[in-house]
Amino acid sequence: MEQMSAAVFDGKLRYGTDYPAPVTKPGWARIRVKQAGICKTDMELMKGYKGFTGVLGHEFVGVVDRCDDAKWIGKRVIGEINAACGECEFCKKDLGRHCPNRATLGIFQLDGCMATYCILPTVNLIAVPESIPDDRAVLTEPLAAACEILEQQPLCGNERVIILGDGRLGILCAWALSTVVSNVTLIGHHPEKLALAAWRGIETAKTTDRIEAGADMVVEATGSGQGIATAMSLCRPRGTIVLKSTVAVPGDINLSPIVINELTVLGSRCGRFQDAISMMQSFPDMPLERLITDRYPLSHVVEAFDRAAQKVAIKVLLLV
* 61 is a contact residue toward Zn ion (CB under 5 A): no
Write the single-letter amino acid at 96. G
On whether the CB atoms of residues 138 and 37 are closer than 8 A, the answer is yes
CB of 275 to Zn ion, least distance (A): 16
| Strand pairing class (292-297; 315-319) | parallel
Of 91, 241, 314, 317, the one binding Zn ion by CB under 5 A: 91
d(CA 188, CA 138): 25
Is residue 276 involved in binding Zn ion (CB under 5 A)? no
Q: Which segment (100-108, 151-159, 160-168, 231-239) binds Zn ion by CB under 5 A?
A: 100-108
Binding to Zn ion by residue 138, rule CB under 5 A? no
Min dist. Cβ of residue 11 to Zn ion (A) = 21
Give whichever of 12 and 93 is closer to Zn ion, judged by the CB atom: 93
Told to check if 265 binds Zn ion by CB under 5 A, we report no
Residue 99 within binding range of Zn ion, rule CB under 5 A: yes
Kindly state whether residue 88 participates in binding Zn ion, applying the rule CB under 5 A: yes
Interacting stretch for Zn ion, rule CB under 5 A, among 22-30, 81-89, 185-193, 262-270? 81-89
Q: Which is nearer to Zn ion, 41 or 122 (CB)?
A: 41
> Nearer Cβ to Zn ion, position 246 or 264?
246
Closest approach of Cβ 56 to Zn ion, in Å? 11
Selected range binding Zn ion among 66-74, 90-98, 176-184, 299-307, rule: CB under 5 A = 90-98
Please state whether beta strands 76-79 and 183-188 pair in parallel, antiparallel, or not at all (unpaired): unpaired
Contact flag: residue 123 with Zn ion (CB under 5 A): no
Is residue 85 a contact residue for Zn ion (CB under 5 A)?
A: yes
* Site stretch for Zn ion (CB under 5 A), options 64-72, 88-96, 176-184, 197-205: 88-96
- The reply to whether 39 sits near Zn ion by the rule CB under 5 A is yes
In angstroms, give the least distance from the CB of 92 to Zn ion.
Answer: 8
Stretch that binds Zn ion, among 38-46, 161-169, 192-200, 208-216 (CB under 5 A): 38-46
Rounded Cα gap, residues 141 and 208, in angstroms: 31
CB of 1 to Zn ion, least distance (A): 27
Stretch that binds Zn ion, among 95-103, 190-198, 211-219, 274-282 (CB under 5 A): 95-103
Interacting residues toward Zn ion by CB under 5 A = 39, 41, 84-85, 88, 91, 99, 101
